Structure 1
């Protein structure tokens, strides 16, 4: 193996892969068997941390950055003047095994530009996973990026060797996709998504009867949207995400802030980058929709098409709906408890269990772990201090922001004192 040449390819293709953020491995439970290599766990691999603080990571690369398409937002677009490279199938297999043995990684995230056509590219991605599983007996995590418009047969085979599959929808709306990627059709993305969804359902049903049914993509499928390349509002983005969750049983939808990669009059100007905080607010909203019982139109609608950057989306909703508050901790149902700012779902469950035995007061809530610095404005319990019924939404928002700023200053001062 020519190590200098491999190193040069790795520099190019690892750098090109950094724009894809949909690489968490949560949900896979592929166990080590037959004294093989690796072990994929449910806790996640790429850019994740275990409960004991251990950082886990994966080899995240493109098979090639050559591409037949000219999507305006993509760094590997065919008209972009960048250095090109391509791995051979065996080179990726060898890199993965060598990195794993050196304890650099715990799995592989493999994507690719599209060269020749979708099926040819998908075949090569599958060949890497197949060699790792069957020839190297590798049981670590493998995430394959599905190529838009790949055949159903190839999507089925991919799921037999990969833990997770994903097709990046790229632009949240069909109109945005037509503008920035006129060579692609919306159906090219949804076709492989539908195949994966149907195969996952088929495996689930067959596994109930035949336990030896081969696993199919045990960590499910995910997708990613670029935020800010076109003029979609946060409302447009979250309605689109909700559609993919419902229609294709997505495990996750990822939101990637647009990063300027080329001059193009269809794109925001160079130097215009989406703030990380907007990404963060979208993820918080995604969490509320999936786990807290919110509907999109409660958080985002025609009157409020974009998320409040100053405060998180649950607090923003609460401040706009003060008529629902204060909530009585000792009598409210699960749905309303979950809507109190500063109240996580674990705290909700603890409250529901604890109040079977006694009425709860502020001290109890503090021990449970409720963030009282914001929750106290929206609830009452079996004690009366801290209640401030004379405050309106604007005053509450101001006080919470002031507390947050003060907390940041105290943390900053503490950090500075370490260097004194």
Structure 2
């Protein structure tokens, strides 16, 4: 298989071009054509030397992901199912808002963390995505949306690594993908508008702070180790004290002066007033005056076999009020795309279970309400 140029950040592409005897400016030209203009063929790249355009197809390719299906929500949210081979598929979600467009990107086929409230975790883990497979989700979505809207302007202003998988458990592929998204010759995203969400892989949080600091969101979901051990199994390896200390170490490198904590509201599990008070005490006692943070309360999105229910709205609002009254900035996330299973915690895609492949792969294939994708690059 030839080299896929989507696997390279600009430095990687420069090294590849140098191996071909080409100078750095050729890598910049290629990078712009691929990411800024969405080109998938070298003969489209009119400012490259003809000899190079003719030579490149024998050395490399621009290989995106096959789109298996597209679903569109009544609120404008779009969910794509991408084929990543070997019986696996992953999902990405575009969320349009008045002042921004956000793409939720997957980093793994399945997830090994196994959080109780997350549909992805319930299907198990198959493999890490490559850098090219991570970037290809943005590459496709950005240029699909531009073509649909008849625009040459950037449509996606924010990217959140909150799709399928734990991004920091796929670190070697994640960082070049982040650098491509940030690069002014690529997608030109601000570090403040590129967010990595983690369930708390402490050593990789420390590495990210040095290698490619972007906005950080931490899946907290519980105020005590005992409860978080049940909800987020990774807590048994990196308990709350270690996690919050890592958040404190991350902040001096971060593009924002706070960490976002995500907290999924589960009826009768973590949503009582005493849970709110325990959470307030937890956040205050770490880092002296506490870890500077914003708390995002997420209504649970039910899925089969979870055994969990969403907290009543009044309980969510009371919980938020207690936190805000204690000086912790707290918001309640607006649910988007829940009619197409695109809301937080619902992404499942298709992951080949090696012990029961036929059942897994038949579970979530194209449904009647899905809209076939007609976008093709030329």
Give the counterpart of 2:134 among 89, 94, 102: 89
Displacement of 1:77: 1.7
Separation in structure 2 between the aligned mates of residue 284 and residue 60 of structure 1, nearest angstrom = 28
Partner of 2:220: 169
Measure how far apart 1:231 and its partner are: 2.9
Equivalent residue for 2:256? 218
Alignment match, 1:313: none
Does the 8 A contact of 1:146 with 1:166 survive in 2?
A: yes
- Matched with 1:145 is 197
Closer, same or farther: CA 278–57 of 1 in aligned 2, 3 Å? farther
Larger radius of gyration: 1
Aligned with 2:99 (options 55, 65, 75): 55
Tell me if structure 2 keeps the 8 A contact 1:123–1:154.
no
Q: Per-residue displacement from partner, 1:323-363 (whole Å, max 9, x unpaired)?
A: xxxxxxxxxxxxxxxxxxxxxxxxxxxxxxxxxxxxxxxxx
C-alpha change, 1:230 and 1:78, in structure 2 (3 Å) is same
Which residue in 1 is equivalent to 2:275?
237
Structure 1 residue 285: Cα displacement? 3.0
8 A Cα contact 1:70 1:181, kept in partner = yes
- Is the contact made by 1:59 and 1:107 (CA closer than 8 Å) also made in structure 2? yes
Q: In structure 2, what is the Cα distance between the partners aligned to 1:15 and 1:240? A: 36
State the match for 1:350 in structure 2.
none
SS at match of 1:58: strand
> CA separation in 1, counterparts of 2:300 and 2:66?
31
The aligned counterpart of 1:376 is none
Structure 1 residue 119 displacement after superposition: 5.0
Conserved? CA contact 2:110–2:120, under 8 Å: yes
Structure 2: which 5+ runs fail to align? Answer: 1-61, 71-78, 83-88, 147-151, 330-378
What secondary structure does 2:296 align onto?
strand
Q: Tell me how far apart the structure 2 counterparts of residues 67 and 226 of structure 1 sit (CA, whole Å).
A: 18
Deviation at 1:112, TM superposition (A): 4.9
Question: What is the DSSP-based 3-state SS (H/G/I as helix, E as strand, rest coil) of the residue aligned with 2:120?
Answer: coil
| Matching residue within 75, 85, 105 for 2:119 | 75
Question: Match for 2:266 among 212, 228, 239?
Answer: 228
Q: Indicate the RMSD between aligned Cα atoms, in angstroms.
A: 4.1
Q: Relative contact order, CA 8 A, sep 6+: which one is greater?
A: 2
Residue equivalent to 1:122: 171
- Report how far residue 145 of structure 1 moved: 1.1
Number of the residue aligned with 1:283:
320
Corresponding residue for residue 322 of structure 1? none
Deviation at 1:108, TM superposition (A): 0.8
Structure 2 Cα separation of the partners of residues 273 and 97 of structure 1: 33
Q: CA deviation at 1:58?
A: 1.3
Distance 1:71 1:107, change over 3 A: closer
Q: Residues 83 and 127 of structure 1: is their aligned pair in 2 closer, same or farther, counting only changes over 3 Å?
A: closer
Q: Contact 1:17/1:111 (CA < 8 Å) preserved in 2?
A: no
* TM-score normalised according to structure 1 size: 0.46
Provide closer, same or farther for how the CA distance between residues 244 and 11 of structure 1 changes in structure 2, counting only shifts above 3 A: farther
**Contact map agreement 2:109 2:129 (CA 8 A) in 1:** yes
Structure 1 unaligned runs (5+)? Answer: 19-45, 49-53, 204-214, 293-420
Aligned to 1:155: 208
SS of 2:119 mapped into structure 1: coil
8 Å CA contact 2:265, 2:300 repeated in 1: yes
Please, which of 161, 186, 189 is the counterpart of residue 136 of structure 1? Answer: 186
SS of the equivalent of 2:196 reads: strand
Contact 1:167 1:189 in 2 (8 A): no
Tell me the number of residue pairs that the alignment of Structure 1 and Structure 2 aligns: 238
Cα distance 1:77–1:216, how it changes in 2: closer, same or farther (>3 A)? closer
- After TM superposition, list the pairs within 5 Å mapping 1:250-399 onto structure 2: 250-264=292-306, 267-268=307-308, 272-290=309-327
Q: CA deviation at 1:244?
A: 4.9
Alpha-carbon separation, structure 1, partners of 2:90 and 2:136: 17
Query: Is contact 1:174-1:186 (8 Å) kept?
Result: no
